[in-house]
Structure 1
């Protein structure tokens, strides 16, 4: 049985971070959240969870949080979700991404080392692989990011590896594939206006919040010509973080890098057809040119995570992901009063 140490969740008011907060709280972990609320939402953090409105670059605030939460001197963990995630924006504004994702991560890691917080779980991405040479993609595939978003995350992975070699500090980098869905109890979900996740966009269109869905490319070498992606339910992803945390505490001398996906994919049109079936209406699809650098297929090789931690996905089902996303979208309309 893993001793439950205090956990600081950065970006815990955001999409994936808020699901990790629920997973930790449901499992009885002591935790706190720091979020600057630039893209996060205060309502996404449950009542009773200590919340700090601030930035992970603020060393003084981090030191205070560590002290107040009983972290440091060889105790505690950071689950790091704070950052910027829109790939096209990273191309047009690379310095924002190297600041938010790399420089701020460096400041957070430095604060952890200074205080003696020994465990660190990092929200990384399949974008570190760029356009992979093989599919499904194993963790030891070449890392060749094709945009600043992927590179900013990969640079943080390099920092973690170097810090882990130099200090009493271990880490787990989890490389996400396409995250989808929402909390099955509709306690939180993807709430960001203008989000780019396909299932989020599709359910918004199905509920009349968008007038169409753009399909970027119809001439890929795939069964229907549209891009194929590995979609993972956000609650299954959150459970992977808790299991990674337990693994780091159980073996302080070991660090981990693991893909998070289901090892299978769906095309853009398959996703849109599934949303049509779930809502009994037809989404307006508009075919556009491919986006630069989009691979035809991006599927995870998830054998490592399944061999390393006892991760058993509960929501590995496209209709379920869509059902939960729809339920949250309706709930979000109530919360926002529109």
Structure 2
């Protein structure tokens, strides 16, 4: 059913007040096709919505907002691995917890990442040294222009750091309906990320062989200690990507800032964007209802429920300051609409 003039505030974790000209909540493939047909007939743009944790609504949306609520999750053993098929509307963290409670490894480092499964491949979500692509098998997506269902392999998704083909060549061309993951039966924990390694080294669990559930619990404890729950403080999670710089630029920055936090990617260096923002003096600053979280400088918060334009303005001001002070470009993780 298509609604007119719908309130989008409940559908974005920054709680930005915005409205959509039309809105459809779809729970089936047929309903999704009908909503897309409606939009095509009226020549209107599409705004796909899931958990709403990776968008910034800068104004009212002049087209059709479609909340993708497709449900369904199956697990089965296949060729020495466990195959998980999850519909786009399933909650990501709940999927992670179901997997670790079943004794399956591979997703535990990605616990407590907000949002639904449909958005995970677009962003190639990642945390604590693990990315979605590490266990990704394939996905099914609907062509917005035709309503056809297509299958994408990992290679066709062209995953990169917080990136995929759906943010580039396939941008605004598909709506993801289902994601398939393959978790290995032979599992080894990935605990090399400094914060995770430090936490586990001081935990009692480090004295025995780790389980996926123990690693997930450690990740949850770390995230809860420094990241605000959107239910309590409106936010969109990590607002900026960690910038990647050349070896030469890293050496120059390290000489100027000996405490610089960075991680080698092989040929380049990934800088900790939160450290840069903190060093620039933005951490904990609140201005007219929007600001930077006081425990994690990478997170912009909107406790005043202000307009999206104010959030974007603050983000641009921070990025300009980092460029001026460090010569480093910050790129936002969430997408701005319209």
TM-score range, shorter-chain basis?
A: under 0.3
Would you tell me which structure has more helix in proportion to its own residues? 1
TM-score (norm 2): 0.28
Structure showing greater radius of gyration is 2
Would you tell me which structure has more strand in proportion to its own residues? 2
